[in-house]
A and B are shown apart, each in its own frame.
Chain A
Amino acid sequence: MSVITAEAVRALLLERFASSLAAKGLEPAQVPDDFDLLTEGVIDSLGILEMISAIEHRFGLAIDFEDLDAEELTILGPLCRYVEGKSRAATSGGA
C-alpha cells in the first residue's frame, strides 16, 4: 500500500467542499493552508464527523478521532498532514 500524501487529502477535501468554497469566492488553488473549514462556515460540527468518515472511506484508513486535536482538526494543512502521517505509520508498520 502506498502512502497517502497530504496533497491527495487536500484534493479530496477541496473537491468535496468546492461549492461552499466557490460561494465564498475561493478558487481551490487559493485556499490557504491555515483555512479553518469550521470557523469559515464551510462545515458544521456534524459535518466534520462526516468529513472524517469520508477520508476513512476514500483512503481505507482508520482515524482515531479521540487522538485528533480539536483545534487543528478543521484546519486544512494540519488535517492533511495528520492523515499523511497516519498513513506513513500504517505503511511502515503494517504487513
Chain B
Amino acid sequence: MTLSYRQMYERAFSLAATLDRVHPSPGSAPLTAVLAYRTPTAYTGILGALLRGHGYVSLSRLLPPERTLMMLERSGARCMVVDPESVPHLRSLIPRLKEPMVLLLPEQEDVAELAGEWPTHRILGRADLDVPRDWAPVPVEANAVAYLIFTSGSTGIPKAVMAAHRNALAYIDAVVDHYAVTEQDRFSQTFELTFDGSIFDLWVGWERGACLCVPTQKELIKPGKFIRDSRITIWFSVPSTGVFMRRLGILKPNRYPTLRHSLFGGEALPLEVARSWAQAASNSAVENLYGPTEVLCTCLRYRWDPERSPEECEQGVVPIGYPNAGMTTRVVDEGLREVAAGESGELLLSGPQVTLGYWRDPERTAASFITLPGEDVIFYRTGDRVRRPHDHGPILYLGRLDRQLQIHGHRVELGEVEAALREASGVDSVLAVGWPRGASGAAGGVEAFLGTVGADPELLRRKLAARLPDYMVPRRLHFLPELPLTHHGKIDQFALFKLLEEMA
C-alpha cells in the first residue's frame, strides 16, 4: 500500500479534528497515544496528534501489556488512536486502566460491542470520524512537547524523555542538508516507533518529501531483500542488523547499489561491520551515529573512510566522531572538570538538541541535566565514557561509565575485555560483565558471554590469559547459541544478569 502526502494529511487531519472536539477528561496531559504497529494508522496517528497540538506517545502491541500500561499511565495521555491489528490487545489493557480514556479506532466499522464492554471509556470508530471545514490545526509553542519516548534507566525504572518541537527542528535542520535529502530518496523504517531512531526515519525524510518505506514485520526479517526490493537510498538501523547480515553472508561486494547513505546507531559499531557494509553498499557513505534519547536521536556522527578509519578505531569499535552543527561536547572527570586531550572521561552535551528532560520527573531531570560551575548553559550527562581527541580527531566511544569496574583495586574496562574476547574467538556478539556486583562499580571478577557454541573454551582461555592481566580474564565463559537481545536489538544485559543470578 502506498499513501501520498495528501492522503496522509487528510487522514491525520480527520483524526486530529475528531479527537479535538471530544472534551478531554480533567487532568489529561496534552499528549495522544498511538497504539499501532507498522500500519498507516501508526503514522497518521502521530501526525494527527501533532496537528491537534498534542505530543505523541507511540505504543506497540509487541511490548508486554504491563509495559504499555505503565507507559500509558505515566504519560497521563487520555486518548489513544488504535490500528485494527492492535484491537485484540486492548483486552489486556483497557480493563486495567484507572482513568477514563477516549479510544479512536479509525478503521473499525462497528464499535458498539467494545463500547458495551467498556462503558467507562469512550470508543470512537470510523463512523465517528469527522472532517469539519471550519477546523484548523492547533498551533504550538516552540517549547511544547512533541513526543515522549521511554528509555530504560540503569536502575531498571524507565524514564520518559520529553522532546520539544524546537529540539526536533534543530535536529532535522542539522542533518537534512548533511545528507542532501531530496524527494527522490527512499528511507528505510527499521526502528520501532517506541525507539528514538525512528525520529530520523520519519522526520528527516518527510522534511524533504522523500518516500518512507515501512517494512512489515515479515519483511524486516530479510533486510537485504528489503533494501533491494524497496530500492532504499538511505538506510538506518542498529549495528546488530549489520552483524547478522554479515554472519549470514549477505554483505557481499556491490550487493546494495541503490544505497547512498548507510547509517548505524543505538550501540557500538564494530569495525568489521562498517568495512563489510561499505563494500556491500559500494555507492554509499557509511556513518556511525551516536546520541542519547535525551539529546534527540543522534548528535555525533563519524563517516567511515576505508583508508583512515581502521587506524582511528579503538578496541575494534568505530569512533563516534564529531558533533552536529550547533552542538557542543565536553569530556569531564568525576569533578566535572574537563580532562586533557587523549584522556577519557564522561561525555557531556549541550546545544539546541538537549531535550526538556524527563516527563513529570524533576528530580531525575535535575540529576542528569546540569549546569557547570560558572556557566549557565545546560549540559546533559550521558553516562558514557569517551576519549577526548587530540586536535581535530574524532571522539572515541569507550563504553558506559558503569562499565568501568574496580576489581580488587584494579580499574577494569569491560569494553577492553570484550575486544579481547572478539579477537580471540572471532565472534562479534560478546558481553563481559562484572560479577558478583558490589557497591559503586566494584565487582568480584569478570564473567563473559559469547554468542557461539562452536568455540574451544580451553584454547580461548589460553589466548585471553596471554593478552589480559589475570584480574581481567573472565573467570567463567558462558556459551550461548546467541546472546539475547532487547526489543530494540541491543544485547540484553538484564537477561544475562538474571541468568547469572539463577546460576548462583
- State whether A50 and B481 are in contact (beta carbons under 8 Å apart), knowing that A38-B218, A65-B248, A71-B218 are contacts in the complex: yes
Q: Is the CB of B225 within 8 A of A66?
A: yes
CA gap between A46 and B489 in the complex, in Å: 7
B468 at the interface (CB under 8 A from A): no
**A32: B residues at CB distance < 8 A:** none
Tally of B interface residues using CB under 8 Å: 26
- State whether A74 and B481 are in contact (beta carbons under 8 Å apart), knowing that A44-B487, A57-B453, A65-B248 are contacts in the complex: no
Tally of A interface residues using CB under 8 Å: 23
- State whether A70 and B222 are in contact (beta carbons under 8 Å apart), knowing that A53-B481, A54-B481 are contacts in the complex: yes
A92 at the interface (CB under 8 A from B): no
A26 at the interface (CB under 8 A from B): no
A11 at the interface (CB under 8 A from B): no
- State whether A44 and B62 are in contact (beta carbons under 8 Å apart), knowing that A57-B454, A65-B250 are contacts in the complex: yes
Q: Chain A's interface: helix, strand, loop or mixed, by majority?
A: helix
Q: Is the CB of B222 within 8 A of A65?
A: yes
Among the listed A41, A48, A58, which residue makes an inter-chain contact with B221, where contact means beta carbons less than 8 Å apart? A48
- State whether A66 and B62 are in contact (beta carbons under 8 Å apart), knowing that A49-B248, A71-B218 are contacts in the complex: no
Contact with A along B434-464 (1 / 0, CB 8 A): 0000000000000000011110000000000
Contact with B along A26-63 (1 / 0, CB 8 A): 00000000000011010011111110111001100000
**Which segment of B5-13, B132-140, B171-179, B239-247 sits at the interface?**
B239-247
CA gap between A6 and B222 in the complex, in Å: 23
Instruction: Tell me, rounded to whole Å, the shortest Cβ–Cβ distance linking B93 to chain A.
Output: 15
Q: Is the CB of B221 within 8 A of A49?
A: yes
Q: Is the CB of A53 within 8 A of B247?
A: yes
Q: Is the CB of A38 within 8 A of B248?
A: no
Instruction: Tell me, rounded to whole Å, the shortest Cβ–Cβ distance linking A68 to chain B.
Output: 8
CA gap between A86 and B338 in the complex, in Å: 59
CA gap between A49 and B240 in the complex, in Å: 10
Among the listed A50, A53, A54, A66, which residue makes an inter-chain contact with B224, where contact means beta carbons less than 8 Å apart? A66
CA gap between A66 and B487 in the complex, in Å: 24
Q: Is the CB of A70 within 8 A of B248?
A: no
Instruction: Tell me, rounded to whole Å, the shortest Cβ–Cβ distance linking B184 to chain A.
Output: 27
Q: Is the CB of B250 within 8 A of A49?
A: no
Q: Is the CB of A57 within 8 A of B481?
A: yes
Q: Which residue of B lies closest to A62 (CB)?
A: B249
CA gap between A89 and B221 in the complex, in Å: 25
Which residues in window 206-246 of B have CB below 8 A to A? Answer: 217-222, 224-225, 240-241, 244-245
A14 at the interface (CB under 8 A from B): no
Instruction: Tell me, rounded to whole Å, the shortest Cβ–Cβ distance linking A58 to chain B.
Output: 8
Q: Which residue of B lies closest to A52 (CB)?
A: B248
Among the listed A45, A52, A57, which residue makes an inter-chain contact with B217, where contact means beta carbons less than 8 Å apart? A45
Question: Which interface residue of A39, A47, A50, A68 has the most chain B CB atoms within 10 A?
Answer: A50
Other CB < 8 Å A-B pairs besides A46-B489, A70-B222, 13 of them?
A44-B485, A46-B241, A49-B221, A49-B245, A53-B244, A57-B453, A57-B481, A58-B453, A66-B222, A66-B224, A68-B222, A70-B218, A70-B219
A-B contact pairs, 12 of them (CB 8 A): A45-B217, A45-B221, A46-B241, A46-B489, A50-B451, A54-B481, A57-B452, A57-B454, A66-B222, A70-B219, A70-B225, A74-B218
Sorted nearest first, the 9 A-B pairs with minimum C-beta distance are A50-B482, A45-B220, A49-B244, A54-B481, A65-B248, A48-B221, A45-B221, A70-B218, A70-B222
Q: Which residues of A does B touch, CB under 8 Å?
A: 16, 38-39, 41, 44-50, 52-54, 57-58, 65-66, 68, 70-71, 73-74
